[in-house]
Amino acid sequence: MPYFDSASAAPLHPVARQALQASLDEGWADPARLYREGRRARLLLDAAREAAAEAVGCRADELVFTPSGTHAVHTGIAGVLAGRRRVGDHLVVSAVEHSSVLHSAAAHEARGGSVSEVPVDRSGAVSAAGYADALVPATALACLQSANHEVGTVQPVAEVAEVCGAAGVPLLVDAAQSLAWGPVEAAWSVLAASAHKWGGPPGVGLLAVRKGVRFSPQGPADERESGRSPGFTNLPAIVAAAASLRAVRAEADAEAARLRVLVDRIRRRVVRLVPDVEVVGDADRRLPHLVTFSCLYVDGEALLHELDRAGFSVSSGSSCTSSTLTPSHVLRAMGVLSEGNVRVSLPPGTPAEEVNAFLEVLPGAVAGVRERLGVTEPPAAVPEADSLELDALGLRCPQPVIELARAIARVPVGGTVTVLSDDEVARLDIPAWCAMRGHDYLGESPRPTGTAYTVRRQS
Amino acid sequence: MPYFDSASAAPLHPVARQALQASLDEGWADPARLYREGRRARLLLDAAREAAAEAVGCRADELVFTPSGTHAVHTGIAGVLAGRRRVGDHLVVSAVEHSSVLHSAAAHEARGGSVSEVPVDRSGAVSAAGYADALVPATALACLQSANHEVGTVQPVAEVAEVCGAAGVPLLVDAAQSLAWGPVEAAWSVLAASAHKWGGPPGVGLLAVRKGVRFSPQGPADERESGRSPGFTNLPAIVAAAASLRAVRAEADAEAARLRVLVDRIRRRVVRLVPDVEVVGDADRRLPHLVTFSCLYVDGEALLHELDRAGFSVSSGSSCTSSTLTPSHVLRAMGVLSEGNVRVSLPPGTPAEEVNAFLEVLPGAVAGVRERLGVTEPPAAVPEADSLELDALGLRCPQPVIELARAIARVPVGGTVTVLSDDEVARLDIPAWCAMRGHDYLGESPRPTGTAYTVRRQS
């Protein structure tokens, strides 16, 4: 059964499993104890730290193990913000960071700090100039992911690190999505990552803080992990995490080249096989194993169920697949279509046949969802009026866009359709639809109930 | 090789290992996802939560999994303090709590909150009256361990819960040391525990918060575990933790009875086999598997090494076995001897033969350490003067007490010996030595260098 959501979690790497087994026997004791079981545990911990530090590209005493990538990010951001409190309370993040970074930023703001969000282009990439603009004398820390977790776009970390370095601002890099493929080749100050993204077990994150970066751990004191990660050391998982990182790295270049071919195939063929689809994310500067596309007039949750029934596990940034009714903040920041969104992230070892099978199944799955939603090609109608207003209140994604698509032929070229909607997603998907269809998006205006989105027909 | 430090960590229970294996295959995916691997993970997570809640004695929706017992305590204390901020900022803890509680209290104080420490008696037990005295209208939270981790004394949790309940103050119970033996039979509000103490894997803590307790999670938001424990769910370890809790509970009563006999044997025989030893902790109201004693004129670290060489792994609350040069805060709060301290905590299944072997080895190990320290019976000397002053500056535990023991015969009955020491431990161990030897401890006074401790000879 093809599982295509390795960006979310991956099955345990065989090497990780082996290491976990062995260290359950050898590494269950407290590494802080003086007796033989403790000394044995300490040796395993030291070896795991050396191995992880080598893979990260830092000194062993710069790296601590945390209970998750999220903890690494939370701790890293809070520690630098507190350590550099005298410099100021300004934090810079990109608009497309992982929620752990954005939630840290929100917590910082709630405590009275200030935050700037660096925007991204339509491919999801920030620019070094964007960071240069955001930095101010009071900036305590800047954060940037190495690559985006939803669309796979690789960020210009080295350039941003240079800009930050010149301003004397430390840069925290969330390397969760890329560390399996190689070290972050940039002058980062703090780095966070998560073992279960590279086939390690859950329960292990990495936090590396370069010597010289002012860092003040927050929360209650604890003597473990240089005072940066409280709680009893999760040694078997740490040993497994370090072993699997080394193992995936040994295979990384060959596997990246192989998966890149498969992802290229999806990128090329999905737009030919499925009508009205937008592949998002940078076509070249991207993770080798990840591709994301959105399908117009499609309910993301229904499509996921359809694919699941056909045996394919993928994820989605569509609003209807989350509990919040808002689409992925990444797609929103990019300004791209969010409806019918599908993220495919191939685990190492994915055979070409599974990708081919997916491409065979996908068109029918999309067509099935569209059929059930009553999506039909708008008939060539005689225009009824120069302007129309549609009441789409109460309708949820993708219905408002479907209504708009149906109505556009009812006005002449140059005429306008206004959609009244109370669905948050319309704000993103109506402009995205206009861009895909070649119509003009004229903007939105608030109404007593909902928002009016106006579109001018261009063809 | 006998491992007698289960209060610190225990090897994985066979049931936990089995469950871990199975859930590495079945439970690696993100339980928040909609596809089949995610749904399977969700089922495992729900079942583990049900099982753990049943063992704790709470509703499943009151319980979350954290990355460790320490995280459960930190989160629990911070969450209630924030949730009840309007009531006040006063926190009550016992003097013998686990460091995770005391460090939370210190962090609370550093943020401007106030903390009261409830004292313990010489057995290490608090009293309900002690809590009643400490509660004030501004008390937001009280904390009490179910049983002490260093000396095994079981606390009067039900009585303290009653006092707290009457005052409308929630009680957080750190049940780390006792949950394997049974639920906490008291009207607690919040409960914390740690899986690796009951043969579960490291990486899993429990935090239960009763409905109706005002709780406001601190730190960056995260949607996992009801917003109370951020980071990717460590599902395989959670499943293993829940399975092993159920397994140890099934054996708990029989095993407790069996280990209690072995611990009773140690308690009785150690005072007969080893001269100048003090068994600490309550003789009756105690954990079934744990016993602690201190040996006069003994260097704790040397004794641990001696026992380790003989194949026995135990721990110690002596200052010389920690990095801080201060003895265990538990022994200090109890006012008992800390030098030559040994904690024996028997893992389930410990055979009687191992305990017998330990009792055979111990007297020689203690004697060996004492011999190397030059401890000899003080010769019956002719008193030299009515009062003597010893310069023990620069000497570390147990040397100041050894010097005192040597000198006491040099003054007549009724005469005094004053020990000048800059070792923190002297403050605890000189009065404890007086109590054991039947001399009067007259008190301490500061000197330009160090502190003077004065003792009156009584026999």
Of A164, A320, A397, A434, which one is the catalytic site residue? A320
3-class DSSP state of B78: helix
Residues of A in contact with B234 (CB under 8 A): 67-68, 201-203, 237
Contacts of residues B100-103 at CB distance under 8 Å and 24 or more positions apart, as own/partner, are: B100/A220, B100/A222, B100/A230, B100/B69, B100/B70, B100/B73, B100/B74, B100/B174, B101/B73, B101/B77, B101/B143, B101/B145, B101/B174, B102/B329, B103/A220, B103/A221, B103/A222, B103/B74
Task: Tell if the CB–CB gap between A202 and B233 is shorter than 8 Å.
Answer: yes
What local confidence, expressed as pLDDT, does residue B459 receive? Answer: 87
CA distances from A141 to A138, A184, B249 (A): 9, 18, 49
**pLDDT tens digits, residue range A390-412?**
999 999 989 999 999 999 999 99
Together in a domain, A131 and A213: yes
The strands making up B451-456's β-sheet, listed across from edge to edge, are B387-391, B416-421, B451-456, B440-446
Task: Tell if the CB–CB gap between B308 and A36 is shorter than 8 Å.
Answer: yes
Q: Are strands A63-66 and A205-209 parallel, antiparallel or unpaired?
A: antiparallel
Residue of B nearest to A108 (CA): B220
Q: What is the CATH number of the domain that holds A94?
A: 3.40.640.10
Q: How far apart are CA B171 and CA B186, in angstroms?
A: 10
**pLDDT tens digits, residue range A256-298?**
999 999 999 999 999 999 999 999 999 999 999 999 999 999 9
Task: Tell if the CB–CB gap between A5 and B222 is shorter than 8 Å.
Answer: no
Residue (of B343, B357, B359) closest to B289 by Cα position? B343
Measure CB to CB from residue A103 to each of B71, B205, B220 and give the nearest one: B220
In chain A, % of residues over pLDDT 70: 98
Q: Say if B291 falls within a structural domain.
A: yes
Residue of B nearest to A18 (CA): B21
User: Are the CB atoms for B399 and B426 separated by under 8 Å?
Assistant: no
Please tell me the distance in Å from B179's CA to the nearest CA on chain A: 17
What local confidence, expressed as pLDDT, does residue A55 receive? Answer: 98
Q: Say if B2 falls within a structural domain.
A: no
Task: Tell if the CB–CB gap between A70 and B222 is shorter than 8 Å.
Answer: yes
- Mean pLDDT computed over every residue of chain A: 95
Tell which phi-psi region holds residue B168, choosing left (phi > 0), alpha (psi between -120 and 50) or beta. Answer: left
Is residue B320 annotated as a catalytic residue, yes or no? yes
Please tell me the distance in Å from B104's CA to the nearest CA on chain A: 5
CB pairs under 8 A between A and B: 192
Task: Tell if the CB–CB gap between B313 and A220 is shorter than 8 Å.
Answer: no
Residues of A in contact with B203 (CB under 8 A): 67, 203, 234, 237
Q: Are strands A114-118 and A90-94 parallel, antiparallel or unpaired?
A: parallel
CA distances from A188 to A83, A169, A175 (A): 17, 10, 11
Q: Count how many domains chain A has.
A: 3
Tokens (6 digits) for B111: 């943020």
3-class DSSP state of B317: coil
Task: Tell if the CB–CB gap between B202 and A37 is shorter than 8 Å.
Answer: no
Residue of B nearest to A315 (CA): B33
Q: Say if B49 falls within a structural domain.
A: yes
Residues of B in contact with A5 (CB under 8 A): 29-30, 33, 35, 37
Please tell me the distance in Å from A236's CA to the nearest CA on chain B: 8
Together in a domain, B156 and B176: yes
Interface test with A, best of B232, B308, B318, B319 (most A CBs within 10 A): B232
Residue of B nearest to A300 (CA): B34
CA geometry: angle B381, B385, B388, nearest 5 deg: 95
Measure CB to CB from residue A34 to each of B24, B37, B304 and give the nearest one: B304
Q: How far apart are CA A161 and CA B121, in angstroms?
A: 58
Q: Say if B382 falls within a structural domain.
A: no
The strand pairing partners of A341, in sequence order, are A294
CA geometry: angle B83, B206, B78, nearest 5 deg: 25
With cut-offs at 50, 70 and 90, classify the pLDDT of residue A382. confident
Task: Tell if the CB–CB gap between A313 and B74 is shorter than 8 Å.
Answer: no
Together in a domain, B309 and B406: no
Together in a domain, B168 and B299: no
User: Are the CB atoms for A146 and A154 separated by under 8 Å?
Assistant: yes
Task: Tell if the CB–CB gap between B33 and A221 is shorter than 8 Å.
Answer: no
The strands making up A277-280's β-sheet, listed across from edge to edge, are A277-280, A290-295, A341-345
> How many other CB atoms are there within 10 angstroms of residue B271's CB atom?
14
Measure CB to CB from residue B33 to each of A8, A28, A203 and give the nearest one: A8
**pLDDT tens digits, residue range A424-440?**
899 999 999 999 999 99
**pLDDT tens digits, residue range A76-121?**
999 999 999 999 999 999 999 999 999 999 999 999 999 999 999 9
Q: Are strands B451-456 and B440-446 parallel, antiparallel or unpaired?
A: antiparallel
Together in a domain, B210 and B123: yes
Q: What is the CATH number of the domain that holds B256?
A: 3.90.1150.10
CB under 8 Å to B445, separation ≥6 — which residues?
A: B451, B452, B454
Residue of B nearest to A67 (CA): B67
Together in a domain, B235 and B294: no
Measure CB to CB from residue A35 to each of B104, B201, B304 and give the nearest one: B304
Tokens (6 digits) for A217: 């751990």
Q: Say if A379 falls within a structural domain.
A: no
What local confidence, expressed as pLDDT, does residue B187 receive? Answer: 97
pLDDT tens, residue order, chain B (459 aa): 899 999 999 899 999 999 999 999 899 999 999 899 999 999 999 999 999 999 999 999 999 999 999 999 999 999 999 999 999 999 999 999 999 999 999 999 999 999 999 999 999 999 999 999 999 999 999 999 999 999 999 999 999 999 999 999 999 999 999 999 999 999 999 999 999 999 999 999 999 999 999 999 999 999 899 999 999 999 999 999 999 999 999 999 999 999 999 999 999 999 999 999 999 999 999 999 999 999 999 999 999 999 999 999 999 988 776 666 678 999 999 999 999 999 999 999 999 999 999 999 999 999 999 999 888 766 677 888 999 999 999 999 899 999 999 999 999 999 999 999 999 899 999 999 999 999 999 999 999 999 999 999 998
Out of A19-28, A227-236, A321-330, B28-37, which region has the weakest mean confidence (pLDDT)?
A321-330
Together in a domain, A363 and A403: no
Measure CB to CB from residue B29 to each of A9, A38, A321 and give the nearest one: A9
Burial (CB count <10 Å: 0-12, 13-18, 19+), residue A255: buried
- The residue from A342, A372, A402 where one domain ends is A372
Residues of A in contact with B33 (CB under 8 A): 5, 8, 313, 315
3-class DSSP state of B143: strand
Please tell me the distance in Å from A350's CA to the nearest CA on chain B: 16
3-class DSSP state of B359: helix
Q: State phi, psi for A258 to the nearest 5 degrees.
A: -70, -45
Residues of A in contact with B11 (CB under 8 A): 25, 28
What local confidence, expressed as pLDDT, does residue A324 receive? Answer: 67
Measure CB to CB from residue A219 to each of B8, B29, B107 and give the nearest one: B107
Together in a domain, B114 and B228: yes
Please tell me the distance in Å from B333's CA to the nearest CA on chain A: 20
What local confidence, expressed as pLDDT, does residue B374 receive? Answer: 86
In this prediction, does ipTM exceed 0.90?
Answer: yes
Residue identified by tokens 């460090």 is: B103
Q: Say if B380 falls within a structural domain.
A: no
Q: How far apart are CA A324 and CA A328, in angstroms?
A: 10
Q: Say if A378 falls within a structural domain.
A: no
Measure CB to CB from residue B106 to each of A37, A220, A313 and give the nearest one: A220
> How many other CB atoms are there within 10 angstroms of residue A58's CB atom?
19
Residue of B nearest to A27 (CA): B11
* The three-state (H, E, C) secondary structure of A322-339, written as one string: CCCCCCCHHHHHHCCCCC
Together in a domain, B109 and B220: yes
Please tell me the distance in Å from A56's CA to the nearest CA on chain B: 21
- Whether residue A377 has pLDDT greater than 90: no
Measure CB to CB from residue A234 to each of B74, B202, B308 and give the nearest one: B202
Task: Tell if the CB–CB gap between A74 and B232 is shorter than 8 Å.
Answer: no
Task: Tell if the CB–CB gap between B321 and A34 is shorter than 8 Å.
Answer: yes
What local confidence, expressed as pLDDT, does residue A383 receive? Answer: 86
* The three-state (H, E, C) secondary structure of chain A, written as one string: CCECECCCCCCCCHHHHHHHHHHHHHCCCCCCCCCHHHHHHHHHHHHHHHHHHHHHCCCHHHEEEECCHHHHHHHHHHHHHHHCCCCCCEEEEECCCCHHHHHHHHHHHHCCCEEEEECCCCCCCCCHHHHHHHCCCCEEEEEEECECCCCCEECCHHHHHHHHHHHCCCEEEECCCCCCCCCCCCCCCEEEEEHHHCCCCCCCEEEEECCCCCCCCCCCCCCCHHHCCCCCCCHHHHHHHHHHHHHHHHHHHHHHHHHHHHHHHHHHHHHHHCCCEEEECCCCCECCCEEEEEECCCCHHHHHHHHHHCCCECECCCHHHCCCCCCCHHHHHHCCCCCCEEEEECCCCCCHHHHHHHHHHHHHHHHHHHHHCCCCCCCCCCCCCCEEEEECCCCCCCHHHHHHHHHHHHCCCCCEEEEEECCCCHHHHHHHHHHHHCCEEEEEEECCCCEEEEEECCC
- The residue from B372, B400, B433 where one domain ends is B372
What local confidence, expressed as pLDDT, does residue B323 receive? Answer: 67
Q: Say if A380 falls within a structural domain.
A: no
Together in a domain, B341 and B439: no
Q: What is the CATH number of the domain that holds A419?
A: 3.30.110.40
Residue (of A118, A53, A117, A107) closest to A81 by Cα position? A107
- The residue from A214, A248, A282 where one domain ends is A248
Range of the domain at A399: 387-456
Together in a domain, A85 and A200: yes
Residue of A nearest to B108 (CA): A220
Task: Tell if the CB–CB gap between B67 and A203 is shorter than 8 Å.
Answer: yes
Compute the average pLDDT of residues A43-68: 98
User: Cα dihedral angle (B374, B375, B380, B385), rounded to 10 degrees?
Assistant: 80
Q: How far apart are CA B401 and CA B296, in angstroms?
A: 8
User: Are the CB atoms for A30 and A232 separated by under 8 Å?
Assistant: yes
Q: Which amino acid is at A386?
A: D
User: Are the CB atoms for A181 and A199 separated by under 8 Å?
Assistant: no
Task: Tell if the CB–CB gap between B323 and A223 is shorter than 8 Å.
Answer: yes
Task: Tell if the CB–CB gap between B28 and A8 is shorter than 8 Å.
Answer: no
CB under 8 Å to A14, separation ≥6 — which residues?
A: none
Together in a domain, A244 and A256: no
For B325-347, letters b (16+ CB in 10 Å) and e give eebbbbbbbbebbbbbbbbbbbb
